[in-house]
Amino acid sequence: MTLKLPRLDWFLLGMVLAVVVASAWPHVGRSQGVLHLGTVTDLGVLGLFFLHGMGLSTDSLKDGASRWRLHLLVQSCTYVWFPLWWGVCVLLLGRWVPHDLQMGFFYLAVLPSTVSSSVAMTALAKGRVAAAVLNATLSTLLGVFLTPLLVSAVIGGQGAEAMDVSQTMLKIAKMLLLPFVAGHLSRPWLLPVFAKIKPVTNVFDRVVIVLLVWSAFSDSVADGLWSRHGVGLLMQTLAGAALFLLPTLWLSRWVARRLAFDVEDEIVAVFCGSKKTMASGMPMAKLLFGGSAAMGVLILPIMIYHQLQMFVCTVLARRYAEREGPRTVVRS
């Protein structure tokens, strides 16, 4: 019997390598260092959101538009439940958690849902894909305005430097929303080209995120990240990510069942309501916190949460996919 080793995820490996290289040689990857990663990642983010917009089908948005109770549940999980749960956790556990890490978890709490993995998990679980596309896209668009507003209200009130909310929203709109809309509007003309390069777009997406992680950690390490925090910070972040993800998965499923959703809509609620985006989260962090010595700590929760949500939700999606019939509810 041959023992099969699990295949390494190059994206996870790339992020770990980015942190290691940034820790060993922080000046190489600094935003304004020899590689000029600040400029490189700016261009990468523009390309990334242009491709995301081009990949968005208008038909799928129309198909999912009628289920308003489902959309309300998903957006409430994303922008109401997560911040409230963060407040409860800080109230109960905040005395043992460094302030910068608390703010990193708040940033995680107010991020939009992710588009690609929410849709992929919904499809794997045999849920209603059109509704997942609509919810994930709506969450991303709302996040352009809600995320900086909430970050300014809480982190700005915790002694951080004053943030000009209108200017921040404008920068985020120009960096993320404008290329997204431009990509979607160009879809009728560029769709044949996009279909040919689609296998490459996921790789491009992840490469840009790895570069953002490298740049952010290089800046933070050069400013004393590891001299102020040790390995315990990683353990606290992993525990905090689990404390965010697992109750949210349970709550979204419980509410969906109390509202008598069919299992296809329940799947959308569970996967879209529990996800947090790294694709939008890293570029927004650069715009919101760029230049802050705490940047590495502030992005650590989303890095850990992303990997945890992918692992747990893949297992859960496979359980849903194995159900007997299209309307059968999966019970614990």
In-domain check, residue 21: no
The mean pLDDT of 110-131, rounded to a whole number, is 83
pLDDT score recorded for residue 145: 86
In-domain check, residue 16: no
| 301 contacts 241 by C-beta, under 8 angstroms | yes
Residue 250: both structure tokens together: 């349970």
Burial (CB < 10 A; 0-12, 13-18, 19+), residue 8, is exposed
In-domain check, residue 187: yes
For the cut 70, the answer to whether the pLDDT of residue 300 exceeds it is: yes
For the cut 50, the answer to whether the pLDDT of residue 5 exceeds it is: no
In-domain check, residue 265: yes
pLDDT digits (tens, 9 = 90+) for 184-194: 888 888 878 87
Residue 286: both structure tokens together: 């650069």
In-domain check, residue 281: yes
pTM, whole model, 2 decimals?
A: 0.76
Nearest one of 134, 64, 122, 60 to 321, comparing CA atoms = 122
In-domain check, residue 15: no
d(CA 242, CA 8): 22
pLDDT score recorded for residue 328: 45
d(CA 279, CA 275): 12
Residue 272: both structure tokens together: 């879209």
Number of domains in the chain: 1
pLDDT digits (tens, 9 = 90+) for 8-50: 567 778 878 888 888 888 888 887 777 888 788 888 878 877 8
pLDDT digits (tens, 9 = 90+) for 106-117: 999 999 988 777
pLDDT score recorded for residue 34: 79
State the CATH number of the domain containing residue 101.
1.20.1530.20
Task: Give 231's Cβ-side CA count (13 Å radius).
Answer: 0
In-domain check, residue 14: no
Contacts of 152-161 with CB under 8 Å at 24 or more apart are 154/103, 154/106, 155/103, 155/106, 155/107, 158/99, 158/103, 160/103, 160/292, 161/292
pLDDT score recorded for residue 325: 55
Domain that holds residue 209: 28-320
pLDDT digits (tens, 9 = 90+) for 213-252: 888 778 777 766 666 666 788 889 999 999 999 999 999 9
In-domain check, residue 87: yes
